[in-house]
Each structure stands twice: as C-alpha cells, then as structure tokens.
Amino acid sequence: MKNLLSLILAGIVGGITVIGVTQIMPKEELVVYNQSPQATLVGHQLGTESVAEPFDFVKASEHATEVVVHIMAEESLASARKRQEESRRSRRSPFDDFFGGDFFGNDFFGQDYFRGHGQKNGSGSGVIFSKDGYIVTNNHVVGFADNILVTLQDGREVKATKIGTDPSTDLAVIKINVETNLPTLDFADSDDVKVGEWVLAVGNPFSYLTSTVTAGIISAKGRDLDIISEDKSIEEFLQTDAVVNPGNSGGALVSKEGKLLGINTAIATPTGVYAGYSFAIPSNLVKRVVFDIIENGDIERVSLGVLGYDVDQSVVEEFGIFSDYGFYVDSMERKSIAQLSGMLPGDVIIEVDNKKVEKFEDIVEQMKYNKAGDTVKIKVKRKKEEKVITVKLRKGL
C-alpha cells in the first residue's frame, strides 16, 4: 500500500509540473499561407485569425488570362534541312557542342524538341498586343518556326504569321487575322515598379496547363544575366518569385492593377523547372521593341567595331592625345561600321548623338537600341580638332 501511495503522489506531482511548464512556455505559432495571396491566416491555432490583404487578384487574373494565348511553333522540313546543311558546313570546335548549353533550350521555358526529321518544335505563350491581332512573345519560342498555331483563351485555334524578331532582346511579334477588338492589357511603367510589389505570372506551363496564374513579388530589377547569346544583347530583367515553368515563355507578368509589367522569359534553375526565381523583360523595353518590329520587321543590332581604351591620365600620356575624357580608338575591325564611316585610329570619341562619352560603356548605353538602317552622329577629337562623323549603321559585311 505504501508503494502504491508513493506512485500516486509522484503522478500528481508530475502532472502539476507539466501543467506549470506548459503555462510558462509560449504556444507554438502557426503560419499558414493560402495558395492565393488574397488572405494570410496567422494564429496560435490554425484558422483562428484571418488577416486579409488590401487587394485581391481576381479582376487582374480574369483580364490577364483573356489576353494570354498558347503558341505551338514548328520548323518546316525545308528549313530544318537547310539549317542542318549549314551546320555541317560550318567549322565548329567539338568543345562548342560539349560546353555550349543554351539557356533557353529544353531545360527552360521554350519546351523545344525535335521531330523525326530533325525539325524543331516547341510551345510557349504570348500576349495580345493590339486589338487587331498583333501578339508579343519570345524569340526563342517562335524564332525558328515557319508554322505557328495560336490558341485563344476561348479555345479558338488560329494560324499566325511571324512579323519579326529581335534576338538581342529575345522578343518577337506574330499576328493573327481574326475580328478586331481583341482584348488587350494596358502597359504599366516598369521603371516605376518597386522591389516587394505583388505581381502575377500568366502563361501555359508544360503546354497542357493552359491559362495558369501564379503570384509573387518583384525580387529585383535591372538584372543582366548574360543569358541572351547575342553580341548586342539587351538585358535588364525584372526578377520575381512568381512560379513559372517551361511553356510560360512569352506570357504576361502583370501588376496587381491588371497592367502588363513584362514578358516572362527565363528561370534560374539547376533542374529545368521552377526553383525560386524567374525573369521578365520589362514592359518599357517590350513596348519600344514591339512597335519597332511592327514598323520595320526583323531587328538586327549592330556595333561600331572599335577597339581601344577609356581615356585617363596614363592613356593621355602614352598616346599624346588632346582630350582628358572619352574613348580612345586604338584600332577598328576590318570593314566595320566605324572604318567604313571614316573614323581613324587615334580618334577619341567624345560624344554620341550629343551625349557625352567618358568611357566605352557610355557608347554601348547610348547605342544599345540602335539597329541596322539608323543614323548616328559621333563627335571625335582628332588631334586638336573636333569632328562630327555621320555613321550609317549597316548589317554585318
């Protein structure tokens, strides 16, 4: 009996101890996030408190899904054979094939693949740009294609014509011929967007999950990732954590107000699917390039072809130049635009289109949107004399 009383007493003391410790220790806080950012549930127990965001994405989603289309793209057999023949003729190092991965290839947005005769095929997304049927998408979605089929949000399938591409920005424009008054999105000012703002990503991941909407925030601005394999690539991506996957290429990045903020283009991933961050071409760049493509067709970016040094005191002393700023032209590529325009070794570029040049990056920045056919005025210091050279930008010779 004595032992039994001892056990009962020990149990009572243990229970009191547990109750006391429980009262002292804070309760574990549970944080549960809905799949939609409309509401966030935060409480000591699941669902005991609901804190709603001051907005929802319902209207923005409804409007955005109306203007985002599904694109199927196919290379013709004739084009495939021509490309293969050119590839055989070109002299390539075996290391190019081994190391030369394409960021926009199979592991990324474009869903590119090959059919039996080596024809490229792929799928992606696009955004209706105008009421009369112009659609903006990525160059890596349709650049290779001769046959393009667009599926509208209401299920209609329409053949599209390729209007033009700009590989330097990875943008392209196609057009469908349907009735006018198609739905469109107003443009947001991508320069004004702030890190931390909510955004939507709308597209067709994996080709079969059409009209998919995900949400996230702007994670960073102005990302230059060196992923567009062009000599004059223009990269100033918006980075977001909205979920995107292969097939989302060319889809819309949308502000919470339902305006077009960018064109989804790439993901950073070690696996080929979403791993945390995606990248979109900002709307201000999209608008500029798309209007240019509609007006002029394919865009080919060109460079001056000058080699040299940013002017500093050591350059002034070494070459005996008569300017304390600018870019010293030491040499030029053979048959380059600079050479054909009358520029000479020893010239110092001090202005491009009336904008002061202090270093080579200033030339790049000032000319990054120029294309073949444009005219640029370049002021140089030639010994002690200033001279303006009118440069007609040409395609590569």
Q: What are the catalytic residues?
A: 140, 170, 249
| Rounded distance between C-alpha atoms, residue 71 and residue 174, angstroms | 10
Maximum CA extent, the chain:
116
Look up residue 69 and give its two tokens. 């289309």
d(CA 121, CA 123): 7
Rg of the Cα atoms in the chain: 29
Which residue from 182, 61, 94, 171 is spatially nearest to 132, judged by alpha carbons?
Answer: 182
CB proximity list for 216: less than 8 A, separation 6 or greater:
198, 199, 201, 240, 241, 242, 243
Yes or no: say if 135 and 174 are a contact pair by the CB < 8 Å rule: yes
d(C-alpha 278, C-alpha 235), whole Å: 14
Beta partners for 379?
351, 388
CA distances in angstroms from 320 to 166, 268, 317, listed in the order given: 41, 48, 5
What is the DSSP code (8-state) at residue 187? B
Helices H / strands E in the chain, number of each: 9, 22
Question: How far apart are the C-alpha atoms of 117 and 247, rounded to whole Å?
Answer: 23
